[in-house]
Chains A and B, each alone.
Chain A
Amino acid sequence: MYGLFLRHFYLIKSSLPRVLDLIYWPTIQIILWGFISKFFSIYSDYYNNTLGIILTCAILYDILFRSSISFNMLFLEEIWSRNFTNLFIAPLKLKEIIISLIFTALIRTLIGLVPAIILTSPLFGISILKLGFPLLILFLSLYIFGITLGLFVSSGLMRFGPSFENIAWSSLFLLAPLGCIYYPIEILPEFFQLIAKGLPLVYIFDETRNILINGLVDYENIKQAYLLNLVYLIFGIGLFYLSFLRARIKGTLINMGE
């Protein structure tokens, strides 16, 4: 028994990422639910007249989550199946790889989300389709940001290899408290507000609540979200190209999956 304990203890002791991984999840969960609790204790009547805001925001957040994870999964599956090298010795331009991943991720996202969206109506009497045309704009904005996060993580996988895998799973949860999915930005401490304002999520979810509560569309929020999306997307693509170059210098492409 002690031997088996030691086998895992040595593994944890020798790997800082494993220790951080153990600390990371409870910390993020506590911070997220701490902010949610704070919001409800201050604004207990905020959602009284608008059923389903939380569920709608949860589904919208899942669009971000699914699109990003789908993008990462496509990359990780090549590593797990040890097919990564085959892919990078095929005559494919990097932009062709990115475009094909973007479209495949869209299909994967829709396969995962459509049944969930359909189920919310009979189960809870709520349909996000009530958002109308702005839903398409919000969906696209979340999808672009999800893909951008996928580009960041894939760049890390290319550059640092499979050890970067944990980041692929945890990056989105870091954004959950800062993205102000379930509460307005004012709930966050001032320092976090500064960071949150640099994320398109804040504007997307603020606008979702605005549409559902007031029945109006504030295009200023949407414009701000798309502007930030554009900046992050350009940065993400640049990082992907740079990571490919660094991986060619460091040799990670040839050893991937071994």
Chain B
Amino acid sequence: MTIPLEVIDLSKTYDLKEAVRNISFKVNENEIIGILGPNGCGKTTTIGMILGLLKPTKGKVLVNGIEIEKQRVELLNELNFISPYIELPKKLTVRQNLEVYGRLYDIKDLRIKIDYLSEKLRLNEFINKITGELSSGQKNRVSLAKSVINDPSVLLLDEPTASLDPETGDFVRSFLEEYQKEKKTSILLASHNMSEVERLCSSVLMMNKGSIIDQGTPRELIKKHGRRNMEEVFLKLTRDLI
């Protein structure tokens, strides 16, 4: 069986600075892998290389067994991404934005798809509103709808609940759990929210200074490092290396 996402010996160097150093990991079907580490540890660079936004200095990214560098555009149909640092056009309504991205991903029965996502993500009450006028929680749900509009086999989430209130954060996490079970999507989740990682991820990669410094299930890591939760594991691992 082909692995939805496989990263092999991946490195990225900017001028003389090594942002990512020889990392390898897999995300199997129906699996959520967490990627943790302090700011600047190489998480976003890794995601950038998986999405084909960055050219690796060394190593390769395989999506469904095919190297992204060889068939970037075709494989982008299989991927999608959400990050609080990127937004949808602010002057378009929510429906217009979803229509635009539905067309870009060449979605069949787009109207049905938008109705389905509006229902699932509670977008109906503001579907015809201008996106720029929405609250950050509403915008986040719209971006989430965009990120699953093509039913990606690999979904990349960069801090998907950052700056959300606890209720909206919980709603997003519940949606992701339900969506992943239904579609068997492989998810790579970069987050600073340790309880989110413990709840969602079957396995965790700990990164620091561009390298994977430890990995395992949240339970294994907590036990291995003799800590009470993932937050304490995170602090131990990152402080040990300072």
Contact = CB atoms under 8 A, between A and B. Distances in A.
B77 A254 contact: no
A258 interface: yes
Contacts of A92: 73, 76, 104
B54 to A, nearest CB: 6
A245 B54 CA distance: 9
B101 A90 contact: yes
Contacts, number: 70
Given A90-B104, A92-B104, A254-B48, A83 B54 contact: no
A27 interface: no
Contact of B53 (A93, A245, A254, A257): A254
Nearest to A246: B55
A19 B91 CA distance: 33
B87 A81 contact: yes
A48 interface: no
Contacts of B106: 91
Contact size range, B? 20 to 34
Contact of A83 (B14, B52, B88): B88
A77 B91 CA distance: 10
- Interface hub of B87, B88, B146 (most chain A Cβ within 10 A): B87
Interface in B49-87: 51-55, 73-74, 76-77, 79-81, 83, 85-87
A236 B76 CA distance: 26
Nearest to B131: A81
A90 B105 contact: yes
B80 A81 contact: no
Given A83-B88, A86-B88, A251 B54 contact: yes
Q: DSSP class of B's interface residues: helix, strand, loop or mixed? A: loop
Interface string A222-257: 000000000000000000000001001111011001
Given A248-B54, A251-B45, A89 B88 contact: no
Given A91-B105, A248-B53, A86 B146 contact: yes
A88 interface: yes
Contacts of B168: none
Contacts of A85: 53, 81, 83, 85-86
B111 interface: no
Nearest to A89: B51
Contacts of A91: 73-74, 76-77, 104-106
A257 B73 CA distance: 22
B85 to A, nearest CB: 5
A38 interface: no
Contact of A89 (B45, B76, B89): B76
Given A86-B81, A89-B76, A254-B48, 20 more contacts: A81-B87, A81-B88, A81-B90, A82-B86, A83-B88, A85-B85, A86-B86, A86-B88, A86-B101, A89-B52, A90-B101, A91-B74, A92-B104, A248-B52, A248-B54, A248-B55, A250-B14, A251-B54, A254-B44, A254-B53
Interface of B: 14, 44-45, 48, 51-55, 73-74, 76-77, 79-81, 83, 85-91, 101, 104-106, 146
